Structure formats: C-alpha cells, structure tokens
Amino acid sequence: MQTGDYILSEERVSGYRGTWSGPVSLGGSIHLNPGQEVTVIRTNFDMNPMTDSVDVSETLSPTPTDVAEPTESGGGLPNTSLPWGNELLLGGGLVLLGVIGLSSKKLLVK
C-alpha cells in the first residue's frame, strides 16, 4: 500500500459490535509510512448474547417409604478390638517409663 492515511471499516451486522486493536486510532484511522508493515485485528462480539430459559412447571415432593424391618434397641456392639490391643498398650507404657528412667539417670550422672 502507498504511504498515507487510511480509514479501516467493516460492514455492520445487526446485533454485533467490534473493536480494533493494533496501531489504529479511534474510528479505524491509520497512517502508513514508507515501508511500514502493520497488523490490525478486528474483534467482534454479540451485543445481546442469547440466553436460554427453562420453565419449571412441576413440583416434586418426597414420598414416604415403609421400613421392612424395625430397628432393634438394646443390642450390644460386637467385639472389634485387636486381640493384642491391651498387650500393645501395656508395652508402649513400659517403653515410655524406660525412656523417662534413662533420661533421669543421665541427668543424675552428670
């Protein structure tokens, strides 16, 4: 293109607007110097984007259900502890006492 002033334009489409980006002035005007290369981008967007609507016409409510078997009360819980649970707890306590004993002995020796 030759050196000079130009006005960029685009055919308008109903419901759309656009913006220019690049070395272009408000309204789409641009000045080209000798040997100058430019890139101008036109971005179009909806002025009134479509929205879908849904009509709700039915109201649902929960329906009661009969319980097949009644709940029992007064029952006991099953024994689910580990078979060695008490022994492990006792062993952990003895280890803790041993650590405390060793640390107090070291304090007395110094």
Per the domain annotation, does 69 fall within a domain? no
pLDDT for the residue 94: 93
pTM of the model: 0.38
Distance (Å, whole) CA 74 – CA 77? 10
pLDDT in tens, 49-99: 667 777 777 777 888 877 777 667 776 766 666 667 778 888 999 999 988
Per the domain annotation, does 36 fall within a domain? yes
pLDDT for the residue 44: 87
Number of structural domains the chain divides into: 1
Per the domain annotation, does 83 fall within a domain? no
Is the pLDDT at 108 greater than 90? The verdict is no
Per the domain annotation, does 81 fall within a domain? no
Residue bearing the bigger pLDDT, 50 or 18: 18
- Cα-atom radius of gyration of the chain, to the nearest Å? 42
pLDDT for the residue 96: 92
pLDDT in tens, 5-15: 888 888 888 88
Per the domain annotation, does 34 fall within a domain? yes
Residue 19 structural domain: 4-46
